[in-house]
Structure 1
Amino acid sequence: MNSCSIREWEKISFGTDSDPITEGQADRLAKVARQSVFSGSSGEGVLEHRRKHLRARGVVGVIAATDCQLEILPKIEASGEHDAAPETLRRRLVHMLSVARDLRIDAQNTASLGWQRDTLLEILIRIFCNKMTEAVRHGIPRRYIAHTDDLPALRGRLNITRQFSVLAAQPQHLACEYDELSPDIDLNRVLKAAISKLSRVATAADNLRSLRELSFAYADITDVAPSALRWDRITLDRTNDRWRELLSLAKLLLGDRHQTTNSGASGGHALLFEMNVLFEEYVTKLLKRGLAGTPFTATSQGGQKDCLFEGEQGRFRTRPDIIIRHHGEVVMVIDTKWKRISPRIEDAKQGISQDDVYQLMAYSELYKCDRVMLLYPHHHGLSGIPQQQAYAIGTAEAKRKLLVSTIDVSLNQSLITASLVHLVTTE
């Protein structure tokens, strides 16, 4: 299979013998991309399909057709790092996913994940297989399930009503109600659905072998389509809490914040992540961890205040990305932006959208807080240290400030957390 990697917002050409993909392959990749929920009304929210090239947008992941695979990687660059290798970007993206979804990835075993030779999809499948294999060695979860059956001998409790009504003329049968310890439960059905799905999309030999072995272990579990899985009936407690991480990983691979697509007869599929959403989740999770035990708290997609009112009816409800509170009082609203701002020497406004500024000014008024922040990822084109520029809102002497800040997501997790905590707790 022809496999290529590009960065978000980069182009990949097609149509000539020297191009990495053929025109037919480009058409098939674009077709799969158009089926994603991220494709938008134009159908080009993931890939722009032009006459001589495909151009990636702000969605990353893997798009695969029958004979080709396109990996789109995020631009996560360290200070002074102009063109990071694909394996470096894969590591950083997987790190962001692991933080956002509470996945523990053992640093000692990451060398075996195939950062250089495999795409992001194969790496995530390998992580899933490794964790599943280790968990299955200790036995798959079971619980008691209630059964009702007409049996020749009493098992469990007798259903008196059914026995003396429906079975009144059949004394050789007893209406039994009993509980049976069974592995065919919703948690295992989710995991089997993930195994079945990944078995159809994996290409690495070791992943296919591991998935076959896991399929044998789950052979007696009912097959359920991903769209019909009953996530709401899964309860994790002390008896099965060790499966929490695998459930989160299965959810990541089956649905939620990405879209897995099938393109009918072409057999295409895609595993895609919207970087704006992932960046917000990543920052929120690190802030919650860093602020634990302090008077500060961080909440995401909260607030829910209305901008306008028609009589008593509120209109245009707001949902700020992150709200920081101190002893319950809102002290900062943060809007995360996965985009590259320009150095001040190139543009005094640094390419910051006027609409974003207006939105943050509205948040400052609605939530009665003196500090609002636009938070961007740091990149190699800026100075060596993360930026923080303060602007007075309304007048030069105004107490309310709009902060434009960056964080370097290529750093060690503890350093990133400390940097975020410093940004929100320092006046």
Structure 2
Amino acid sequence: MALRSLVTVREFARLTTGTVQPTLDQASVSDSAFDYLCRLAGGFRSNGATLLQVESRQWLRLDGYVGVIETPCGTTVEILPKHVDGLGEHVVEDARALLRKLLGRALDLPVREVGEAAIERFDFPLTEWVMNRFLLALERVVRRGVRSDYVRVEETQRFLRGRLDLTRQLRQPPGRDHIFNIRHDVYLHDRPENRLLKSALKKVCDCSEHPDNWRLARELSALFVEVPRSTDAVSDFRAWRSDRLMAHYADARPWCELVLGQQMPLSLAGLTHGLSFMFAMDRLFERTVANSLRSSLHSDTRLIEQSTRHSLCTHLGGKKFTLKPDMLVEAAGRQSIVLDAKWKMIDESLMDKHYGLAQADFYQLFAYAHKYQGGKGDLALIYPRTEFFTRPLAPFQLGTGLNLWVLPFDLEAEIVLWPEEGSASGFLPLSGRAPGLPVYRRA
């Protein structure tokens, strides 16, 4: 087994095979890991995504993806969000905590914090946290009972059991009249849900290095000895039942999907080794904002993600260039509202440089407003809140009756900071102005 090494960096960091002072923005990896990352980037590129850029024969620059990649040579590359700035050991811990929160919110992972604080404090990469959550969810399944199911068995025996298969029995050659072709059902743990859990458990046993995870994984493995591993994860996940008898399996499923690579935005099957998962940071941020807004809207209000209702133009009777806003909010008797979330750090003090905002984003929102809102009303761009962006900016007027708001999203509280009362604070049908839904009042 190859000796494992951990390299922790963040988005847009540079990797090299040479000797450099390791920081979150640059690190050194082995030649084999460097070559493997180049090959992996080719697989991403074939799916229309960019994992990294090759700057030279000695340097790679990562793109806007976060997660963990394990290489065949034993190198683990952990890529964290770039939102947390500063120096010191707390930066890595804070960045890991932020990524855990974003994954839990964006993927609707059932995270239980009560009584499980120890795993939050240890200085291990994200993979150990994922494996720990899976093991704890699996342990709860075991405590409430591993479900069995009837499996049809067709075999030949010297005794009768179940039903006799008359067709096969009549076709037997002479001299085998004492052998019976039978069909019967056996009550076994061999069912799709248990096969998937066994496959994920085997992967955790092979990958985990944290002593608590290692011990718990082997304790649970002893209870799944008779369960075979899944040979077709996609089909088994389709067959996963969610009825009343299987309700206690629900919390384990998303963690099982993450361990087995079924939560991937891109197919990494056959491309990575060990427990690897990569997510586009902008997509994680979009999902986090959308889930936060969905929980704060009126019950009669609908939030649609990635709507494809309108296109930029038509040509020869067909739609061309689909317009897909991140979020579209609709409510009875109200105008539709378009919101777009951007994982980018802006600075409210740089007014002469447009606060770091991109002109292309404004063109994009302008097109959305004219197609989805009829060219009037309010729409918003949402960026992560930082020490340089703490308050909503004054509205940008895109035309008569059309205002674009730039709003901060507090990643700690998972809430959007809205403009002052009397301006655009009511342009969304929110369920209330509770403490969790603050309104920023400018001086």
Q: 2:412 aligns with which of 407, 410, 416?
A: 410
1:68-87 alignment, distance < 5 Å = 68-77=75-84, 82=86, 85-87=91-93
Q: 2:10 aligns with which of 7, 10, 13?
A: 7
Residue 76 of structure 1: CA displacement?
A: 3.5
Residue 59 of structure 1: CA displacement?
A: 0.7
**Distance between the aligned counterparts of 1:320 and 1:173, measured in 2?**
67
Q: What is the number of equivalent residue pairs in this alignment?
A: 412
**Any idea what the Cα deviations from partners look like across 1:143-193, whole Å, max 9, x if unmatched?**
234445566665555667x47865798775666554433211111122122
SS of 2:347's partner is: coil
Residue 224 of structure 1: CA displacement?
A: 2.7
Distance 1:354 1:41, change over 3 A: farther
| Residue 295 of structure 1 pairs with residue 300 of structure 2 | yes
Instruction: List alignment gaps of at least 5 residues for structure 1.
Output: none
Residue 239 of structure 1: CA displacement?
A: 0.8
1:148-227 alignment, distance < 5 Å = 148-149=154-155, 155-156=161-162, 162=167, 166=171, 178-225=184-231
1:374 counterpart letter in structure 2: L
TM-score norm. by structure 2 comes to 0.79
Q: 1:400 aligns with which of 395, 399, 402?
A: 402
**Any idea what the Cα deviations from partners look like across 1:105-140, whole Å, max 9, x if unmatched?**
332334310544201111111121122123223322
TM-score norm. by structure 1 comes to 0.82
Q: RMSD across aligned C-alpha pairs, in angstroms?
A: 3.6
Q: 1:381 aligns with which of 383, 388, 406?
A: 388
Partner of 1:343: 348
Instruction: List alignment gaps of at least 5 residues for structure 2.
Output: 420-424, 431-438
1:106 counterpart letter in structure 2: R
SS of 2:196's partner is: helix
Distance 1:220 1:238, change over 3 A: same
1:1-400 alignment, distance < 5 Å = 1-12=4-15, 14-16=17-19, 25=30, 27-29=32-34, 31-32=36-37, 34-35=39-40, 39-40=44-45, 45-51=50-56, 53-65=59-71, 66-77=73-84, 82=86, 85-149=91-155, 155-156=161-162, 162=167, 166=171, 178-225=184-231, 229-255=235-261, 256-257=263-264, 260=268, 270-291=276-297, 293-327=298-332, 331-345=336-350, 347-368=352-373, 370-382=377-389, 385-393=390-398, 395=399, 398-400=400-402
Distance 1:73 1:190, change over 3 A: same
**Distance between the aligned counterparts of 1:361 and 1:257, measured in 2?**
32
Distance 1:127 1:227, change over 3 A: closer
**Distance between the aligned counterparts of 1:308 and 1:89, measured in 2?**
42
Distance 1:233 1:422, change over 3 A: farther
**Any idea what the Cα deviations from partners look like across 1:43-95, whole Å, max 9, x if unmatched?**
99334444554433211112233243222111344xxx745521122122212
SS of 1:339's partner is: coil
Contact 1:32 1:262 in 2 (8 A): no
Distance 1:286 1:18, change over 3 A: closer
Distance 1:29 1:230, change over 3 A: farther
Of 11-20 and 139-148, deviating more is 11-20
Contact 1:279 1:338 in 2 (8 A): yes
Distance 1:18 1:199, change over 3 A: same
**Distance between the aligned counterparts of 2:47 and 2:162, measured in 1?**
60
SS of 1:424's partner is: coil
Relative contact order, higher structure (CA 8 A, sep 6+): 1
Contact 2:20 2:28 in 1 (8 A): no
2:221 counterpart letter in structure 1: S
Contact 1:377 1:407 in 2 (8 A): yes
Residue 27 of structure 1: CA displacement?
A: 4.9
Contact 1:342 1:350 in 2 (8 A): yes
